[in-house]
Chain A
Amino acid sequence: MIDYNFLRSLDFSVSWTYLPVLFGGLLTNILLTVIGFLCGGVTVGTVLALANLSPRRLVRWPALAFVEFWRSTPLLVQAIWIHFAVPGLTGVATTPFQSASIALIFNVAAYCSEIIRGGIQGVGKGQFEAAHALGMRAYATWRKVILPQAVRLMLPPLVGTIISIFKATAILSILAIDDLLKTASRLSTFTFQPVEIYTTAALLAFAVGAVISVSGYYAERALKRGASHGY
């Protein structure tokens, strides 16, 4: 069943030769992960979470619809849609990398906004009421009372999403960005050695995923320990 002659003919020196190229692709994935987490998860995610918690229906409902829609459609469809719709609607032609970033940012933001919202809601009404009773203004309430507690609650799950974001960046290669997968498929048609190239690519991706996941585990544990001390 297994073609042993073929297995014996495998020559992994080709992956060694093209390792720098694959690393270059991997770097794109990591860059997209960072963009997705910082711009999407932290920035847009916070805005969406606050909009979702707004007492005004006019703000809350569109935000809710946005989050549900982005969470319930596949990233691949979102990415292609953005790539064709943004130039069509705004007249600005985006490069594949820009389209991919936009899709990733909104996708990650939709997921993370739920975590952030959960963190803020986890603080408890009494804290708002206590701050109000002490005569604190809105800014002071958020800055001194709510956020320090909410951030502790939301950071562990937020760190946990980084590995999902990294996995999602591989999907974006559909838009012809020079990421790990695209680089690998180009190299495999160029060298005619798909098994060596794809295996190396998969192992590289696994290694990065493992690093993210292990450091995420320690970060989460450290954050939880910090949370239990409190002040």
Chain B
Amino acid sequence: MDIELVLRNSGSLLDGAKVTLAIALVGATIALTFGSAICALRISRSAVFRAFARAYILFFRITPEVIMIFWAYYCIPLIFDANVSGFWAGSVVLGLIGAAFLAEIFRAGIEAVPRGQKEAAESLGLKAFPKWAVVILPQAFRFVIAPLVNYFSEFLKNTTLLSAIGVMDLSLQAYLLGGRTYQYITFLSVIAIIYFAMIFPVTLYARQLERRLGSQGARSRPARASFFSLLKVPREAT
């Protein structure tokens, strides 16, 4: 390991880290907004909306991320006759994928709130807005926060996929520096440590939240047993 060489090139690595964080920020914003919207469709009364949300979730959860990123990068500019940078194509796709996962996390959180709470709110004559904003969502938030943070750590790992379409994120910067200096192992080891330093605290925080909020008082209500509601896409046991 040549520390001096790394320090001399720390500017490029820092630029890369900034791009990585920018992807994470854009993607997380899109994922949170779209995820809430898809979740709302998923639990809405209209069967058409529910079917759409199910199809969306199904498609984005099981198609490999890289293939969708490539598709967006090469096909969207042609189909829409517009200039789309790799950064935006990639982060939006990552955000849309995140939305599918977050929608399921949100739905699980809302369904974990006991039905009696909703019925109590209705019997008190609360309108739709206070019923959701004051009664259901604050309780659902408890169940959602730990898996949400956990998914964010997955999301940070997925940002590296954008280097495949030439976005100058941390991993691509390191790869190029490796090529320039023939010190691949040095630079790749350094960014492995940087990624670890970024992702591991997030994982630990998620675990701590899970321990504090997850099990205690968690009353799970079995979701309606339909094929799609039970279609489990793995979330590794922590």
Q: Which residues of A contact B (CB under 8 A)?
A: 1-3, 6-7, 68-69, 71-78, 80-81, 84-85, 88, 111, 114-115, 118, 157, 160-161, 163-164, 166-171, 173-174, 180-181, 184-185, 188, 194-195, 198-199, 201-202, 205-206, 209-210, 212-214, 216-217, 220-221
Contacts and interface: CB of A to CB of B under 8 A. Distances in A.
B67 A160 contact: no
Contacts of A84: 178, 184-185, 188
B232 interface: yes
A7 B79 contact: yes
B62 A160 contact: no
B142 interface: no
A195 B62 contact: no
A8 to B, nearest CB: 12
A181 B70 contact: yes
Contact of B231 (A157, A164, A217): A217
Nearest to A153: B237
B63 A206 contact: yes
B75 interface: yes
Contact of B78 (A174, A194, A202, A220): A194
Given A161-B234, A195-B79, A206-B59, A171 B66 contact: yes
Interface of B: 58-59, 62-68, 70-71, 74-75, 78-82, 153, 156-161, 163-164, 171, 175, 178, 184-185, 188-189, 191-192, 195-196, 199-200, 203, 227, 230-234, 236-238
A31 B195 CA distance: 29
Contacts of A181: 64, 66-67, 70
Given A74-B195, A164-B236, A170-B67, 18 more contacts: A2-B81, A71-B203, A73-B192, A73-B196, A74-B156, A74-B157, A74-B159, A74-B171, A76-B171, A111-B236, A114-B237, A157-B234, A157-B237, A163-B233, A167-B62, A173-B164, A194-B75, A198-B75
Nearest to B81: A3
Given A160-B232, A170-B67, A77 B200 contact: no
A12 to B, nearest CB: 13
B228 to A, nearest CB: 10
* 7 pairs of A and B residues whose beta carbons are closest in the complex: A209-B62, A170-B64, A160-B234, A3-B81, A84-B184, A74-B160, A74-B157
Contacts of A2: 79-81
23 contacts: A6-B81, A76-B161, A77-B171, A78-B192, A80-B171, A85-B189, A88-B185, A114-B238, A160-B232, A164-B236, A168-B64, A170-B64, A171-B65, A171-B161, A173-B164, A181-B64, A185-B70, A201-B71, A213-B231, A214-B231, A216-B232, A217-B231, A221-B230
A194 B62 contact: no
Nearest to A84: B184
B73 to A, nearest CB: 9
Nearest to B188: A81
A87 B71 CA distance: 33
A217 B232 contact: yes
Nearest to A220: B232
Main secondary structure of the interface of A (DSSP, over half): helix
B195 A77 contact: yes
B199 A3 contact: no
A170 B65 contact: yes
Contacts of B58: 210
Contacts of A202: 63, 67-68, 71
B66 to A, nearest CB: 5
Nearest to B198: A72
Given A73-B199, A81-B185, A217-B231, A6 B78 contact: yes
B122 to A, nearest CB: 34
Given A76-B163, A85-B185, A209 B64 contact: yes
A77 B80 contact: no
Contact of B75 (A78, A114, A180, A195): A195
Contacts of A214: 231
A170 B63 CA distance: 10
Nearest to B71: A198
Contact of B74 (A76, A118, A195): A195
A199 B80 contact: no
Contacts of B161: 76, 171
A205 B171 CA distance: 25
